[in-house]
Structure 1
Amino acid sequence: MRQLIVTAILLSTTPVLAFDAITYKGTLGRSDILVELTDPAEGGMRGRYSYMRVGGDIPLHNLDGIDSIELAEEAPCSEETCILDADGAVTEPPIGGLWLLNFSADGSQLSGTWAPADKPGKTLYVALTEIGRRTLPKGSVLSPMGLANSAFSQIYGDGEPFTAATASYDFAKMDVALTEGPVQTLDGSSFRFVGDPRSVFAFPRIVALADGSSPEAANRALAERHATINLAAFSCLNTAYSGFSYSGHGISMDGGSLGDFDGENIALGYLSPTVLGWTESGSTWCGGAHPNNHFNSFVIDVRTGKQLALGKVLKDWVATRKIGDYDAVVDQAAALEAPEQYVWAAGQSLIDYVLDNYAPGDAGFAEECGIEELITTNLGLRFASDDKVVFTLEGLPHVIHACTEDLLTVSLSDIPDLLAPTASDYFPSLLE
C-alpha cells in the first residue's frame, strides 16, 4: 500500500504562488548531509537531500504524517526496479528509506530517525539545523524536481548571483575541502588549479596579481563559475532517480554518472591585474538527443569580477539582443555597462578583418568545414600572453563542433583601427 501512496505523490505537480524552501544541515547516522524541504505551512513537505561526500541529490516525498513529518526516500532506479511505461515514465518508483522527523520547540531544528524500507527495524538517527531558506519563484512545482529546477532557473536562467541567499541549499553543497595544484605563473601573476573531489575537474584560482592588487573579486567569480559547473555535474547523478526524470537511457544503473563533467578541460590563457580569460571545453551528456560538445571562452574584469564587455576593447564587438527579449532595440551604451544581460557577436569590420587575414593550415579541412562561412556566423575571441587577441570559432553545435579551430592570433597594438577608445583601460601596454 505504501508503494501505491508514494507513486501517487511522485506524480503530483502542484504549482505554487510563493512558498519558502528551507535548507537544513546535519547528520544521518555518521554521514554529513544537506536537506532542502518545502515549508510545512504549504501542507505536506517534499524535498531533496545530499550526502556531502557525494554531491548528487536524492528525492524525498511526503507521506502525510499526522503528528510528525513522514518522508519516503527514493532508491536509485535499475532495469529491474524501475519499469517504464510507453511514455518513458517510471510506473512504480522504488523506495529506499523512510524518515520520521519532529521539529524542535523553536522550529529551527528537525530530529528523528531514518530506516531502510526493507528493514524498518534498523534505524539511524537524524539531526538537522536550519541554515537558510529561499522563496520559490512563482509557478515552481512542489516536488524534488521542482525544487532543483527552480534553483537552476534562478542561477542559470535569471542570472541571479550564486550566494547563500539566492540558493542556500546548492551554495552550502559547495562547502567542501578542495584539492590544490601547484602554483603556476603567467605574465607576472600567479595562479593554481583547485578541484572538488566529487566532480574531479580542476578550476583556476588567482594566487597573486603582478601589481600586488587584490584578486578577491575575480576569485569570487571563479568560485561561482566552478560551483555552477559542479551543479550541472551533480544533476547528472540525480537522473538515477525517478523523481529527477530517470529515463533509463544513457545513464548507468548504479547511481547515475557525472555525465563526463569529470573530463571537462579548463585552460587559463590570460591573467593580468585587469583582465582574466579562460576556456572550457569537453563533451558532456546525461540525457537528451545530443552531447554538449563545446569550446567556450570567458573573459572577466579582474577588478570587479564581472563579465568584461569586449566592446570596450574591440569597437565592433556588439550586443545583438537582450537576453529574454528578442524584439527590443539594443542600446549599445547600456549593453556595455551590463554585458551579462546581452548576447554579443562580432560586427562586420571584425569579420572582414579575419576573412582577409585567415590563412588555413589545411586547405582541405577549411573547405570541408566551410570555415569562411563559419567565420561570419561563429567568430569568437579570447586573449593570450603579450596582449594578443586570438580569433577563433565558437559555439559550433553537434557534429560540426569538430570544425572548431583558432583562426588568427595578432597583437592588439597591431590593430589600432579595430580598438575601442577604452581598450587601454584594460591593456595598459597600448599606451606605451
Structure 2
Amino acid sequence: MRHAAFLLALFAATPALGDEVRTFLGTLNGREILVELTDAKSGPVVGRYTFKDTGGDVPLLAVSQEGNAFALYEEAPCDETTCETDDEGKAVDPPLAAVWELTYDPTEYMATGKRTTLDSKPKTVDLTLEVLAWRDLDSSETLTPFGLHDRSAALGFHEGAALDWSAAPYEMSLLDVEFDEGPEQALGDATFRDVTDPRTKFAFPRVTAFADGAPVDKVNAILSERHGRMNLSAFDCLAFRYATYGKGEYMGSMGGTLGDYDGELVTLSYASPKLVSWVQSGSLWCTGAHPYNHIDSYTFDVETGEPLDLAQVFSAWVPREWGAAVDEVADAEAAAANPDAYFWGPSFGLIAYVRDNIPSDLFDAELASECINPQAIAENLDIRFSERDAVTFTLSGFPHVISVCNGDLFSAPLDEVKQFLGKGAADYFPGIL
C-alpha cells in the first residue's frame, strides 16, 4: 500500500517491534482508512480508525483476544436517541456499530479478518490492514481508545510534542493529503499562495519564493506544522460524537462538526528568510460554555523554527509578575529563572506610545476604558510584523464578551519605533539600527 514500504524501511531500526503502537493502512467499503492498534503484549488490544477522506476518529473497544487473534467493537455515534446518561451526564453503555475480528501476522506486518455490522441486517466485509509504521509509547500515555485519540488532540495545541513521522505516524499519514492551491500572491519581497485541506476547508499560506532567491523550505516547514496542528484540532472536534471521547456530557455541543475551523481566517502578514508572521481569527466552538472568539498573531524565527521571543527584538518588552501594576517591572533574570510567575509585555514608554497612536475612531468611550487602559495594554498587547518592515500593534486574549477588544490597533514602520528596539533587531532587520 502507499507509503508502507518506505516507512517500514525508515523504521526498520526501531527496537522491540511488537511492544509498540502500530499504524495500519487499509480500505473499508472502498474508502482508505487508517487504523491504530495497541499490541497484545501490552494488554487487551484497543484502537481507533478514521477515513482518510474525512478525518475524525472512531473508537475500537476491546472484546476478546487469544494470542494474535482478537475482536474489537466499533462504537457508533452517540446522541440523545442512542445514548443513555447517568446522573452526572456521562454516557453509559455506548451504542455499537460493528465487530472487527482480526488476526495479526508479525512476519508479514499485516492484520486480516472481517468487519460485521451489528444491525438488523448484518453485513460482513473482509479487512486487510498493512502496517504503515509503529511508534514508541509515551511515558504518560493511557492505552485506551480515549488515550490514543487524546494524544492526537493534544498534538493540536501542544507545542512541545513532536509532530513527525517517527513520533506520530498515524497523525502524519492522516495529514498527508493533496491540498487545493490558490493563486500566487505578492507580499513585500516574498510571494505565497494559500493551500486548503479539502476536509477542513480553511486556507493556510505557503511561501513560494523570496526575491533574493533564499530557500523557502524552513519557513514552509513552520507553516505546514501549524496548519497540521490546526487540522488535528478540527478532527478532534469531528470525533467528539462518541461516548468514549466524552459525548453525552455535552449533548448540545458542536461535537461531530469541524467546530467552525472551516470558518477560520489565516492571513500571512510578513515573510522573510528570517521571520514569518501571520494572524488567525474566527470563533471556534466544539465544547464548553463559550466559543473561542479570537484574533491571534504569530511570529516565528525561521532559523530555529520557534516562536519569536519579542524581547530579542524590542528592548521595551519587559517582564512583570502576574497581577503587577504597569510600573512594576520585574528583573529579567528572575523572570527567566521562574517563567510561570511572570508575563512579558510592553514597557511603560511603549504603552504610552501605543495609546498616543491608536486611531481616535477605533473605540467608543466605553470600550476604550475597557480595551486600551494602560493595564489592559500591558497584559494584552501583541506584536507581529507586516510587509515593508513594519510592525503591527494588536490586542489579543480578551475573553468572551470582551473579546470585542481583540484586533489590530495600528501599524508603523520600524524606523519610527527605533527607540523601543533592542540590539537583536538588527539580526532580523539588517541596517535598522
Same fold (TM over 0.5): yes
Q: Residue 112 of structure 1 contacts residue 127 of structure 1 at CA under 8 Å; is this kept in 2?
A: yes
Q: Residue 284 of structure 1 contacts residue 293 of structure 1 at CA under 8 Å; is this kept in 2?
A: yes
Q: Residue 47 of structure 2 contacts residue 145 of structure 2 at CA under 8 Å; is this kept in 1?
A: yes
* Corresponding letter in the other structure for 2:378: T
Mapped to 2, the partners of 1:250 and 1:206 lie a distance apart of 40
Mapped to 1, the partners of 2:214 and 2:123 lie a distance apart of 57
Q: Provide the residue aligned with 2:312 in structure 1.
A: 312
Mapped to 2, the partners of 1:183 and 1:144 lie a distance apart of 42
Deviation at 1:357, TM superposition (A): 3.6
Q: Provide the residue aligned with 2:407 in structure 1.
A: 405
Give yes or no for the alignment of 1:296 onto 2:299. no
Q: Residue 191 of structure 1 contacts residue 206 of structure 1 at CA under 8 Å; is this kept in 2?
A: yes
Q: Provide the residue aligned with 1:263 in structure 2.
A: 263
Q: Provide the residue aligned with 1:430 in structure 2.
A: 432
Q: Provide the residue aligned with 1:34 in structure 2.
A: 34
Give yes or no for the alignment of 1:208 onto 2:209. yes
Alpha-carbon distance change, 105 to 36 in structure 1, aligned in 2, over 3 angstroms: closer
Query: Structure 2 length as normaliser, TM-score?
Result: 0.85
Mapped to 2, the partners of 1:184 and 1:159 lie a distance apart of 32
Deviation at 1:352, TM superposition (A): 3.2
Deviation at 1:79, TM superposition (A): 1.6
Q: Residue 48 of structure 2 contacts residue 59 of structure 2 at CA under 8 Å; is this kept in 1?
A: yes
Mapped to 1, the partners of 2:257 and 2:140 lie a distance apart of 30
Deviation at 1:119, TM superposition (A): 5.5
Mapped to 2, the partners of 1:238 and 1:359 lie a distance apart of 44
Alpha-carbon distance change, 121 to 76 in structure 1, aligned in 2, over 3 angstroms: closer
Q: Residue 317 of structure 2 contacts residue 346 of structure 2 at CA under 8 Å; is this kept in 1?
A: yes
Deviation sequence 1:197-233 (CA, Å, 0-9, x none): 1100000001001211111011111111001001111
Deviation sequence 1:260-302 (CA, Å, 0-9, x none): 1100010111122322110011111111121111111111123
Alpha-carbon distance change, 260 to 105 in structure 1, aligned in 2, over 3 angstroms: closer
For the residue of structure 2 that corresponds to 1:81, the secondary structure is coil
Q: Residue 25 of structure 2 contacts residue 130 of structure 2 at CA under 8 Å; is this kept in 1?
A: yes
Q: Residue 136 of structure 1 contacts residue 150 of structure 1 at CA under 8 Å; is this kept in 2?
A: no
Gaps of 5+ in 2: 1-18, 322-330
Deviation at 1:370, TM superposition (A): 4.2
Matches within 5 A, 1:309-388: 309-318=309-318, 331=333, 344-361=344-361, 362-372=363-373, 373-388=375-390
For the residue of structure 1 that corresponds to 2:204, the secondary structure is strand
Mapped to 1, the partners of 2:118 and 2:343 lie a distance apart of 50
Alpha-carbon distance change, 183 to 102 in structure 1, aligned in 2, over 3 angstroms: same
Q: Residue 47 of structure 1 contacts residue 61 of structure 1 at CA under 8 Å; is this kept in 2?
A: yes
Q: Residue 29 of structure 1 contacts residue 125 of structure 1 at CA under 8 Å; is this kept in 2?
A: no
Q: Provide the residue aligned with 1:167 in structure 2.
A: 168
* Corresponding letter in the other structure for 1:35: V
Q: Residue 78 of structure 2 contacts residue 247 of structure 2 at CA under 8 Å; is this kept in 1?
A: yes
Deviation at 1:121, TM superposition (A): 5.0
Alpha-carbon distance change, 127 to 212 in structure 1, aligned in 2, over 3 angstroms: same
Alpha-carbon distance change, 158 to 310 in structure 1, aligned in 2, over 3 angstroms: closer
Q: Residue 47 of structure 2 contacts residue 148 of structure 2 at CA under 8 Å; is this kept in 1?
A: yes
* Corresponding letter in the other structure for 1:354: V
* Corresponding letter in the other structure for 2:400: H
Deviation sequence 1:373-427 (CA, Å, 0-9, x none): 4212211111112211111111111111011232232211112221111212212
Deviation at 1:130, TM superposition (A): 1.7
Root-mean-square deviation over aligned CA pairs: 2.6
Q: Provide the residue aligned with 2:237 in structure 1.
A: 236
Deviation at 1:142, TM superposition (A): 2.3
Q: Residue 319 of structure 1 contacts residue 332 of structure 1 at CA under 8 Å; is this kept in 2?
A: no
Mapped to 2, the partners of 1:163 and 1:306 lie a distance apart of 16
Q: Residue 28 of structure 1 contacts residue 127 of structure 1 at CA under 8 Å; is this kept in 2?
A: no
Deviation sequence 1:171-210 (CA, Å, 0-9, x none): 1110111100000011131100001111000000010012
Matches within 5 A, 1:183-202: 183-202=184-203
For the residue of structure 1 that corresponds to 2:84, the secondary structure is coil
Q: Residue 155 of structure 2 contacts residue 232 of structure 2 at CA under 8 Å; is this kept in 1?
A: no
Deviation at 1:118, TM superposition (A): 1.5
Q: Provide the residue aligned with 1:277 in structure 2.
A: 277
Q: Residue 155 of structure 1 contacts residue 161 of structure 1 at CA under 8 Å; is this kept in 2?
A: no
Q: Residue 300 of structure 1 contacts residue 307 of structure 1 at CA under 8 Å; is this kept in 2?
A: yes
Q: Provide the residue aligned with 2:88 in structure 1.
A: 87
Q: Residue 294 of structure 2 contacts residue 406 of structure 2 at CA under 8 Å; is this kept in 1?
A: no
Q: Residue 318 of structure 1 contacts residue 332 of structure 1 at CA under 8 Å; is this kept in 2?
A: no
Alpha-carbon distance change, 83 to 258 in structure 1, aligned in 2, over 3 angstroms: same
* Corresponding letter in the other structure for 1:257: T
Query: Structure 1 length as normaliser, TM-score?
Result: 0.86
Mapped to 2, the partners of 1:34 and 1:285 lie a distance apart of 26
Mapped to 2, the partners of 1:73 and 1:83 lie a distance apart of 18
Of 107-116 and 203-212, deviating more is 107-116
Of 309-318 and 48-57, deviating more is 309-318
Q: Provide the residue aligned with 1:23 in structure 2.
A: 23
Deviation at 1:351, TM superposition (A): 2.2
Give yes or no for the alignment of 1:103 onto 2:94. no
Alpha-carbon distance change, 83 to 121 in structure 1, aligned in 2, over 3 angstroms: closer
Deviation at 1:138, TM superposition (A): 2.8
For the residue of structure 2 that corresponds to 1:63, the secondary structure is strand
Q: Provide the residue aligned with 1:220 in structure 2.
A: 221
* Corresponding letter in the other structure for 1:267: T
Mapped to 2, the partners of 1:424 and 1:198 lie a distance apart of 41
Count how many residue pairs are aligned between Structure 1 and Structure 2: 401
Match of 1:392 among 385, 391, 394: 394
Alpha-carbon distance change, 228 to 320 in structure 1, aligned in 2, over 3 angstroms: farther
* Corresponding letter in the other structure for 2:90: A
Q: Residue 156 of structure 2 contacts residue 233 of structure 2 at CA under 8 Å; is this kept in 1?
A: no
Mapped to 1, the partners of 2:37 and 2:389 lie a distance apart of 50
Q: Residue 319 of structure 2 contacts residue 335 of structure 2 at CA under 8 Å; is this kept in 1?
A: no
Q: Residue 250 of structure 1 contacts residue 286 of structure 1 at CA under 8 Å; is this kept in 2?
A: no
Runs of 4+ in 1 over 4 A off after TM superposition: 318-321, 329-335
* Corresponding letter in the other structure for 1:360: S
Alpha-carbon distance change, 320 to 66 in structure 1, aligned in 2, over 3 angstroms: farther
Gaps of 5+ in 1: 1-18, 322-328
Q: Provide the residue aligned with 1:142 in structure 2.
A: 143
* Corresponding letter in the other structure for 2:358: Y
Q: Residue 155 of structure 2 contacts residue 229 of structure 2 at CA under 8 Å; is this kept in 1?
A: no
